[in-house]
């Protein structure tokens, strides 16, 4: 059963819908059937893509940790009681 992404032309709401057989999806916000099917990329996972994703996440998390530490130090310096 395929999952598709849609945008409602009537209200602009974007959503995903599981489409079974000949069923026509409707907008969850306004119940309109005037929908535009969006192109979406398939999710592919392999050893190499998983490794790349994990390295990118670790790099991002490390930077966020340094930023939080710097923010805390700046706060403590400026709020010396």
* Digit-coded pLDDT (tens) for 25-80: 999 899 999 999 988 766 667 888 888 889 999 999 999 999 999 999 999 999 87
- Kindly state whether residues 47 and 30 are assigned to the same domain: no
Counting the structural domains of the chain, the total is 2
Task: Give dist(CA 66, CA 43) in Å, integer.
Answer: 31
Task: Give dist(CA 37, CA 14) in Å, integer.
Answer: 10
Assess whether pLDDT exceeds 80 at residue 2. no
- Kindly state whether residues 30 and 49 are assigned to the same domain: no
Domain range for 69 is 42-81
- Kindly state whether residues 70 and 51 are assigned to the same domain: yes
Residue 26: burial class (beta carbons within 10 Å; 0-12, 13-18, 19+): middle
- Kindly state whether residues 55 and 78 are assigned to the same domain: yes
pLDDT at 60: 93
pLDDT at 20: 84
- Kindly state whether residues 24 and 46 are assigned to the same domain: no
- Kindly state whether residues 48 and 21 are assigned to the same domain: no
């Amino acid at each position: 059963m395929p999952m598709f992404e849609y945008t409602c032309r009537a209200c602009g709401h974007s959503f995903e819908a599981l489409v079974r057989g000949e069923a026509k999806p409707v907008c969850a916000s306004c119940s309109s059937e005037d929908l535009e099917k969006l192109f979406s990329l398939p999710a592919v996972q392999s050893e190499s893509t998983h490794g790349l994703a994990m390295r990118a996440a670790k790099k991002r998390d490390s930077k966020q940790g340094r930023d939080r530490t710097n923010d805390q130090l700046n706060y403590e310096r400026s709020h010396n009681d």
